[in-house]
Amino acid sequence: MKDKKTINIAVTGLNAIDSPGPGIAVSRGLREAEAFDVRIIGLSYESLEPGLYMHDIIDKSYQIPYPSSGTGTLFERIKYIHGIEQLDMIIPNFDSELIPFMKLSPELEKLGIKTFLPTHKQYEEREKFNLPEFGEKYDLKVPDSEAIHDISGLQKLVSEYGFPLVVKGKFYDAGIAYNLEQATSHFNRISAKWGLPIIVQQFIHGTEFNITGLGDGKGNTISIVPMRKQYITDKGKAWGGISISDKNMIDLTNKFISSTKWRGGFELELMKDKDGEFYILEINPRMPAWIYLSVGVGQNIPEALVKLALGMEINAFTDYSVGKMFIRYSWDMIVDLEEFQQISTFGEL
């Protein structure tokens, strides 16, 4: 049997916490790749990201500077890591680090490090505050929404949308408000944490669904896996879910990929109203934390993403198991102080 090639892949999002980053799920998918072997290099921001200590999933870890410290600092750190690890690819898994990595991708390419990210245009068009224009341009149903920069804008939108309405942060966090006091409280809390603008969105009554998938950047679908959340945490994150087979959801996702020529992994958050109409609530420009379900149902999206990035032969997935569930759990690892000291002091583990 021919030995499989080992690919060195750096992955962020090792915060496998109650509102988890996708890094560990992505890495599990990569470890199960059929076309290649992997050495996983974890990139972390904090010393207590659980993935740092999961040595059966992450081979070696390095701390990297926060995106806010600028792309120059980040690039220097990546160059240092590349000097040791000979990276073939980087998979950034946080929304907030996609722009820095998009900016750096030509420089990374020169070093021989591949990425497979959406384009700047794709990233910006689907931003929460651009969603109404996005819906109109691509003929996709989205709820009415508006970005506001100060609290005085709330009153106008309250009279337009009525209650309940949804108050959302630019990157993360959201709250449902049933009166003006709650809306004001969400505005203050989210803007203090994540900055401005705040997006105020019409509330669509219905059932929430999520879809993950992968587009090749030329308008072709490589993968689509729809899921219904079965167990939701108080932060609105899926703690359990099940793969489903709604044809309308698949058609909608194909339309999204072909019309935007989406490049890379993504997650669509959908609401199905009482008339059976689907609204796109959010488009996340990266693989979701539940991406391992795609591996479980027979569509290894992390592996396919690497194949696209490295120009390997790839066929679009055509089938997946319906009725397959994921159930998340928490697990206490026992860690020696030396490990914590090592990552805290030297930024490597």
Partner 1 sequence: MNLKKNIAVSDSGFIFNPDTGESFTANPIGLEILGLLKEGLDFEAVRKKILEKYKTDKDTVEKDYHDFINMLNQFSLIEHEG
Residues that bind partner 1 (CB under 8 A): 207, 209, 227-228, 230, 241-246, 322-323
Residue 339, Ramachandran bin (φ over 0: left; ψ between -120 and 50: alpha; else beta): alpha
The residue (of 66 and 231) whose beta carbon lies closer to partner 1 is 231
The residue (of 93 and 210) whose beta carbon lies closer to partner 1 is 210
How far apart are the C-alpha atoms of 295 and 225, rounded to whole Å? Answer: 10
CB of 267 to partner 1, least distance (A): 16
**Both tokens assigned to 93:** 């898994």
The residue (of 148 and 238) whose beta carbon lies closer to partner 1 is 238
Nearest to 206 by CA among 162, 163, 270, 142: 270
CB of 57 to partner 1, least distance (A): 28
The residue (of 67 and 213) whose beta carbon lies closer to partner 1 is 213
The residue (of 21 and 241) whose beta carbon lies closer to partner 1 is 241
CB of 247 to partner 1, least distance (A): 8
CA atoms within 13 A on the CB side of 186: 26
What is the number of other CB atoms lying within 10 angstroms of the CB of residue 339? Answer: 14
CB of 187 to partner 1, least distance (A): 33
**Both tokens assigned to 212:** 């993950």
CB of 143 to partner 1, least distance (A): 20
The residue (of 57 and 227) whose beta carbon lies closer to partner 1 is 227
The residue (of 209 and 262) whose beta carbon lies closer to partner 1 is 209
How far apart are the C-alpha atoms of 273 and 129, rounded to whole Å? Answer: 22
CB of 279 to partner 1, least distance (A): 16
Q: What is the DSSP string of 169-218?
A: -SSS-EEEESSHHHHHHHHHHHHHHH-S-EEEEEPPPSEEEEEEEEEESS
CB of 201 to partner 1, least distance (A): 23
Inter-CA distances, 58 with 9, 53, 55, 112, Å: 10, 8, 5, 22
The residue (of 219 and 240) whose beta carbon lies closer to partner 1 is 240
Nearest to 194 by CA among 169, 166, 167, 168: 169
CB of 321 to partner 1, least distance (A): 10
Q: Is 45 helix (H, G, I), strand (E, B) or coil?
A: coil
The DSSP code for 161 is H
CA atoms within 13 A on the CB side of 191: 17
